[in-house]
Amino acid sequence: MLNKVCLVGRLTKDPELRYLANGTPVANFTLAVNRTFKNRNGEREADFINIVVWRKQAENCANYIGKGSLVSIVGRIQTRSYDGADGQRRYVTEVVAEEVQFLDSKNSRNSQQNQTSNDFDTNDVPLDDLYPIDGDEEDLPF
């Protein structure tokens, strides 16, 4: 059986790094991935996918990427459930990253962050402006 996911997108916020009781690092972030088509209004839509990264790779993500960074993820889909504080069963689907590649430089990320404020509301901006694709879409290899 095969469970393999390949994604390219931008982080919606900085990774959240934490350490388990045994000292194992784990980072979580959400990746905005553009869909290949536009909706009826001519706007591009995106999917917001939860990503989990473990061990040294988690620390690298926390140290070297942040909100707006363009990354490539190769991993697997995982589902889990837990009981919420209200007693309701909650289900989570996420991608466990096996490989994370940083696709933009830290300098380009810093210049992008300087152009946006901390209270930036992504709902007010067309997704093409938030997650631009350089060049012609027909030239992209995916």
Q: Which residues contact 89 (CB under 8 A, 6 or more apart)?
A: 81, 82, 83
- pLDDT at 123 exceeding the cut of 50: no
pLDDT digits (tens, 9 = 90+) for 79-102: 999 999 999 999 999 999 999 999
CATH code, residues 5-130: 2.40.50.140
Enumerate the domain spans of the chain.
5-130
- Residue 9 contacts residue 31 (beta carbons within 8 Å): yes
CA 114 and chain centroid, separation: 20
pLDDT digits (tens, 9 = 90+) for 53-65: 999 999 999 999 9
Closest CA to 95 of 34, 65, 53, 62: 53
- Residue 95 burial (10 A CB sphere; 0-12, 13-18, 19+): buried
Distance CA 38, CA 111 (A): 28
Compute φ and ψ for 8, nearest 5 degrees: -130, 125
- Residue 91 contacts residue 79 (beta carbons within 8 Å): yes
